Amino acid sequence: MNPERTSPRPGLLYRLYQRRLRREIDPARVPHHVAVIVDGNRRWAKQRLQVRAAVGHRAGARKIPEFLVWCEEAGIEVVTLYLLSNDNLSGRDGGELADLFDIIAELAAELAATPGWRVKHVGAVEGLSPELATALQDAEEATKEREGMHVNLAVGYGGRSEITAAMRSIIAEHQAAGGTIDTLAERLAPETIGEHLWTRGQADPDLVIRTSGEQRLSDFMIWQSAYSEFYVVEALYPDLREVDLLRALRDYSRRQRRLGK
- Would you state the pLDDT for residue 7? 53
pLDDT for 8: 59
Per the prediction, the chain carries an average pLDDT of 93
- CA–CA separation, 9 and 140 (whole Å): 33
Residue 169 and residue 193 in contact, taking contact as beta carbons nearer than 8 Å: no
CA 225 to chain centre: 12
- Cβ burial of 123 (10 Å; 0-12, 13-18, 19+) is buried
Active site residue 41: no
pLDDT per residue as tens digits for the range 213-252: 999 999 999 999 999 999 999 999 999 999 999 999 999 9
Catalytic residue among 39, 204, 239, 244: 39
- What's the rounded Cα separation, in Å, for the pair 44 and 53? 9
Single-letter code of the amino acid located at 66: E
Query: Residues 41, 86, 88, 152: which is the catalytic one?
Result: 88
In 3D, which of 251, 250, 258 has the Cα closest to residue 25? 250
- 39 part of the active site: yes
- Domain 29-157+204-252 in CATH 3.40.1180.10? The answer is yes
pTM of the model: 0.91
Spell out the per-residue pLDDT of the chain, length 261, in tens: 333 444 556 789 999 999 999 999 999 999 999 999 999 999 999 999 998 999 999 999 999 999 999 999 999 999 999 999 999 998 888 999 999 999 999 999 999 999 999 999 999 999 999 999 999 999 999 999 999 999 999 999 999 999 999 999 999 999 898 888 878 888 888 999 999 999 999 999 999 999 999 999 999 999 999 999 999 999 999 999 999 999 999 999 999 877 766
